[in-house]
């Protein structure tokens, strides 16, 4: 394994960033963390968008391979493929393909269903200024 001192995770306190931080720590990968101030729009600067064209967090730079990755699921897959030699977090394709697919089922379900639905729920329940009845029904929000 290469030296991992050249990994930088760009992010905020969002759940998508936190799951990347957790995996980096679980895999004992040293990394730098660069706080991105979303309220100031730092993710929308030209410099940031050159690295991460989706203009969102998290983003990961690994200078060991000269790569920039965005989207948390992609970052998680990269980290386990590159740094989890034993297949502890994602079974290796040639060892247990069926178990690997089961993990991927849940990873993609989380990123396409649970994550976005939770985000919408929190927006309308916590941050939304105006209560929208249709959104309350859609995201099962208690109107009390």
Is residue 139 scored above 50 in pLDDT? Answer: yes
Strand order in the sheet with 32-35: 32-35, 7-11, 59-62, 67-70
pLDDT for the residue numbered 116 = 80
Look-up of token digits 């929190």:
122
Instruction: Please name every residue paired with 142 in a beta bridge, in sequence order, or none if there are none.
Output: none
pLDDT for the residue numbered 7 = 97
Taking only the tens place, the pLDDT of each residue in 92-127 is 999 999 999 999 999 999 988 888 887 777 777 777
Q: Provide the pLDDT confidence category of residue 141 given band limits of 50, 70 and 90.
A: low
Is residue 16 scored above 50 in pLDDT? Answer: yes
Look-up of token digits 């929308």:
44
Mean pLDDT for the chain overall: 89
Look-up of token digits 């990961």:
60
Output the pTM of the full model. Answer: 0.83
Q: What residue ranges define each of the domains in the chain, with the CATH number in brackets?
A: 7-83 (3.40.30.10), 97-138 (no CATH)
- The structure tokens listed for 11 are 């992010």
């Amino acid at each position: 394994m290469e030296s991992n001192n050249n990994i930088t995770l760009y992010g905020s306190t969002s759940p998508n960033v936190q799951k990347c931080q957790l995996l980096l720590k679980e895999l004992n990968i040293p990394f730098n963390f660069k706080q991105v101030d979303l309220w100031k729009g730092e993710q929308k600067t030209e410099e940031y968008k050159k690295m991460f064209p989706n203009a969102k967090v998290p983003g990961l730079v690994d200078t060991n391979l000269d790569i920039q990755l965005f989207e948390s699921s992609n970052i998680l897959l990269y980290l386990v493929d590159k740094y989890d030699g034993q297949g502890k977090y994602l079974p290796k394709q040639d060892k247990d393909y069926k178990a690997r697919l089961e993990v991927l089922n849940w990873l993609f379900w989380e990123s396409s269903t649970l994550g976005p639905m939770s985000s919408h729920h929190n927006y309308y329940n916590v941050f939304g200024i105006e209560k929208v009845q249709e959104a309350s029904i859609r995201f099962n929000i208690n109107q009390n």
